[in-house]
Structure 1
Amino acid sequence: MSELTTTAFVKGHRRTPSYQDFKERTRHDCQKAMNRELEKLVLTAPSSVQENVRKEFEDFKELFDRYLRETGPSIDWDKIKLLPDDAVKMYGELPGPNENDVKSLLDQLVVMKLNGGLGTGMGCQGPKSVITVKNELTFLDMNVQQIEYLNNKYGTDVPLVLMNSFNTDADTQKVVNKYGNVNVSIFTFNQSRFPRINRESLLPMAIGFGDENTEGWYPPGHGDIYKSFYNSGLLEIFIKAGKKYVFVSNIDNMGATVDLNILSFLLNNKVKAPEFVMEVTDKTRADIKGGTLVEYEGKLRLLEIAQVPKEHVDEFKSIRKFKIFNTNNLWASLDGIKRTIEEKTLHMEIIVNPKTLDNGINVIQLETAVGAAIKSFEGAVGINVPRRRFLPVKTTSDLLVIMSNLYSIKTGSLEMNPKRSFPSVPLCKLGSQFTKVKEFLRRFASIPDILELDHLTVSGDVTFGKNVSLKTSNY
């Protein structure tokens, strides 16, 4: 970087440069250096996609500029207010739709699943969505079955949209082909592909688009969904087709099914319908790190633990003060998404995600979270939903619960066994020997009966025989 000149001018007067001048000059130099490297990367992409790459890099440049400009915490803790009574609706108070209205409601809906993650955390290859979950069905199989059931029962055409990443797209496209005779229109688009940033030089780690080593690239978090959806052209296609809302959720959340009560609340609202709904649910001690809703500067805002000053972390984790957390099941107006992008009012806090590559180089990834956009939409509200709508499968401990006799599958959806005497799910913690799916399956001759289980912790070199029943002694 060039050195700061020894003098600066303000309204014609010579003055000594300040530290702020130095920071501004340094920031400017960092931006110029980054822009030069990004242009080199663009030229390594196939000519047919270079224009799209430039669009993606404009979003990256905006994030990078904000990263250089923004200092300190993104929130002032003293400005946080607990939610007013009308900010979160209770699910049980939502009126259900008239059966005759269901088709017209579904005709206005798009279902989108976040499908950018790999199954490496559970020892699997390829997209996480193709891991077998229950009855030989994968996450994707079950989601397709859910939509097909709605389309067949109500004579509608609810599309299923998958937001892939460059890590999952090719494999997902191969899998999608097997649904050719299924009554579901499946669309895909890719979230952006951003270069990881060397923490020391603040320059891209990526060498080029043709480089087989993907360590230099990363998908920038699910907050990228809005602009990538817009840039793909699908947003405009669905708006022209008469669609009004998109229901977004993680593909591994087995509880995130289309809910007609919430859809009716959005489309049959007698006052102005909210542009954005976040499903929240009651926090337990297992959820203390989950993001929560607060009021901040007059708007609803998603507060994540990464934004909380260290001295307030215990307060954030309190289930007495912050009683709900974000399930990442979101409903957004298609017109609202289009408006916020075209008016450039879409804003999400930057998540700085530090990583260390296999070669020991420290990098950062600039990411955003999809729920953080709530403050950019008009009339946003939360809906406190039953816990059954939050059944993520992040680990083999979660997989044990889903694969057990606690649940059965009906039209792609999980239903809790009526023999379970209360609706809560057992808290299961399997040790490191169970982390990988292959090892997990090897250690169970058959999946145990857990109908009367409240909690389970397993550590060490343990295996389970056939026809085992696990019960909590003080059940």
Structure 2
Amino acid sequence: MATAAEKLSALKSAVAGLNEISENEKNGFISLVGRYLSGEAQHVEWSKIQTPTDEVVVPYDTLAPTPEGSSEVKNLLDKLVVLKLNGGLGTTMGCTGPKSVIEVRDGLTFLDLIVIQIENLNSKYGSNVPLLLMNSFNTHDDTQKIVEKYQNSNIEIHTFNQSQYPRLVVEDFLPLPSKGHTDKDGWYPPGHGDVFPSLLNSGKLDALLSQGKEYVFVANSDNLGAIVDLKILNHLIQNKNEYCMEVTPKTLADVKGGTLISYEGRVQLLEIAQVPDEHVNEFKSIEKFKIFNTNNLWVNLNAVKRLVEADALKMEIIPNPKEVDGIKVLQLETAAGAAIRFFDKAIGINVPRSRFLPVKATSDLLLVQSDLYTLEDGFVIRNKARENPENPSIELGPEFKKVSNFLGRFKSIPSIVELDSLKVAGDVWFGAGVILKGKVSIVSKPGVKLEVPDGVTIVDKEINGPEDL
């Protein structure tokens, strides 16, 4: 068996011959693999974990109000950049191309809504908040075409690519592209922890700093709740916090989400992968770990430059095993939230749940397209008529998994303001103006087409065939 040092040495020579990527990418990749091979400890000592105080995870309602005057607000906004993580494809929802171009509501895509929100801010305050999109090599070309439609808007849109790393063949730890797999399958984007080096390597970071920008608000492009919040920005500037992670109270749906802990005097992210097996159930409980990471992050740009140039961001490595044409490969990734422990005066802010509204599947799309939400100025706003603070739980069968199939099966999205839970499976079709309340299950028997007629109201009911309607 080759030693770690021998593996790394062989890898270095193989990577040197890959012409598709830059020197920065080669160095970043070798450094990541070197850390992985050295087996640096990923586990935390359970007994040292402390629950963060309110100074570390600040309750949102204790933040000072935003300054009133529009010139003060403009001053705040002129220090801000919004960055959306746009590397993901819509494949899980049956779409080709970037996920951010899936239509969310009223014919508008994720990206349309983001642009409308920032346009409104810039118009209202005369500010210049630019939008940055971090693409992967998977989404870059499509995104370049898509952003052309915004060229007349009052918002500067910049795109840059995150790193492109070669997949590692598990058997001998050599890069897949050096074995003839030079197509897209040979490569991967190394997770959103790569946002910090890629900002610097792309030249965007220095350009933003030279314009007087101080903070970047980073969020997933599919989180409809991740909108610019002046109270948070103001708090960070006043308190000179270099990093802030928005967390929100855990529900049973979020038990696997990373959480913030105090550990050896610093705040850090604890992910389920770092938890020793015997403590996993404790990690998932909502009694001990009450909050989870929304992946809405606010980071000081000067601090990013300082830490990336010093190569100080050694985030926990997430090994992601895959298979390409029967070959077992490994991709090593990092997450941006894990960088929190390297920044000075890093904090969490415990924000309302409304700031976390991700659309990961068509069941989420059903929520945001329904009467549970309205759209104002590009913001998705929850219907006040809904008394339960939690959203209904929705489980849709495989027939609804792809966006095109999902849209085809609803003449219109049902009213769900008074719905607690919905389960739909089988060959089910919805008419227009349907109202669902309480706990509803509509599961058609195999081979039976079940049509829910127009205008029907279903309350607390299990439906398995037309006779139940």
Match of 2:67 in 1: 98
Query: What is the identity percentage for the equivalent residue pairs of Structure 1 and Structure 2?
Result: 55
| Aligned-CA RMSD value | 1.6
Matched letter for residue 411 of structure 1: D
More strand by share: 2
Could you tell me which amino acid in structure 2 is paired with residue 301 of structure 1?
Q
Q: Is the 8 A contact 1:41 1:209 kept in 2?
A: no
Contact 2:43 2:276 in 1 (8 A): no
SS at match of 1:41: coil
Pairing 1:441–2:418 present = no
Q: Distance in 2 between matches of 1:84 and 1:60?
A: 37
User: What letter matches 2:9 in structure 1?
Assistant: K
Query: Any conservation in 2 of the 1:41–1:208 contact (CA below 8 Å)?
Result: no
**Which one of 20, 28, 31 corresponds to residue 8 of structure 2?**
31
CA-to-partner distance for each residue in 1:358-384, whole Å, 9 max, x for gaps? x12111110000000000000001000
In structure 2, relative to structure 1, the CA distance for the partners of 1:435 and 1:327 (3 Å cut) is same
TM-score (norm 2): 0.91
Alpha-carbon shift at residue 77 of structure 1 (Å)? 2.2
1:247 corresponds to 2:217: yes
Distance (whole Å) between structure 2 residues aligned to residue 73 and residue 66 of structure 1: 11
- Name the counterpart of 1:467: 433
SS in 2 for 1:470: strand
Alpha-carbon contact 2:14-2:178 (below 8 Å) kept? no
| Equivalent residue number for residue 60 of structure 1 | 29
Deviations 1:388-444 (A, max 9, x none): 000000000000001111111111110112322343222211122211111111211
Shift of 1:78: 2.6
| In structure 2, C-alpha distance between the alignment counterparts of 1:325 and 1:142, rounded to whole Å | 25
The alpha carbon displacement at 1:347 in A equals: 1.9
CA distance in 2, matches of 1:73, 1:276: 22
Quote the Cα distance in structure 2 between the aligned partners of 1:291 and 1:257: 21
Whole-angstrom CA distance in 2 between matches of 1:461 and 1:199: 42
2:287 matched to which residue of 1? Answer: 320
- Quick check: 1:361 aligned with 2:289? no
Aligned pair count reads 439
One-letter amino acid of the structure 1 residue matched with residue 301 of structure 2: L
CA contact (8 A) 1:148 1:183 kept: yes
Structure-2 separation of matches of 1:208 and 1:415: 51
Distance change >3 Å, CA 201–CA 292, structure 1 → 2: same
Give the conservation status (yes or no) of the 8 Å contact 2:16–2:26.
Answer: no
Q: Map of 1:375-386 to 2, 5 A cutoff?
A: 375-386=341-352
Distance 1:393 1:440 in 2: 14
Equivalent residues in 2 for 1:41-80 (5 A)?
Answer: 41-42=18-19, 45=20, 53-70=22-39, 73-80=42-49
Which string of whole-angstrom CA distances, capped at 9 and with x for unpartnered residues, describes residues 278-305 of structure 1? 0000001010000000112211110111
- Residue number in structure 2 paired with 1:235: 205
1:457 alignment counterpart: 423
Deviation string, structure 1 residues 31-88 (Cα, Å, up to 9, x no partner) = 111011111112xx3xxxx6xx111110100110011101564322232222233211
The amino acid across from 1:313 in the alignment is: V
Query: Aligned partners of 2:120, 2:40: CA distance in 1, in Å?
Result: 49
Structure-2 residue corresponding to 1:393: 359
Give CA deviations for 1:230-268 in whole Å, capped at 9, x if unaligned.
111111111111111000000000000000110111123
**Farther off after superposition, 197-206 or 324-333:** 197-206
8 Å CA contact 2:42–2:316 kept in 1: the answer is no
**Tell me, which stretches of 5 or more residues in structure 1 are unaligned?**
2-24
Aligned to 1:125: 96
Which residue in 1 is equivalent to 2:134? 163
TM-score normalised by L of structure 1: 0.90
* Structure 1 contact 67–350 (Cα < 8 Å) conserved: yes
The one-letter code matched in structure 2 to 1:364 is: L
TM superposition shift of 1:209: 10
Distance verdict in 2 for CA 1:274–1:71, change over 3 Å: closer
Where 1:86 maps in the other structure, the secondary structure is: coil
The residue type equivalent to 2:368 in the other structure is I
Looking at structure 2, the residues matched to 215 and 207 of structure 1 have their Cα atoms a distance apart, in angstroms, of: 12
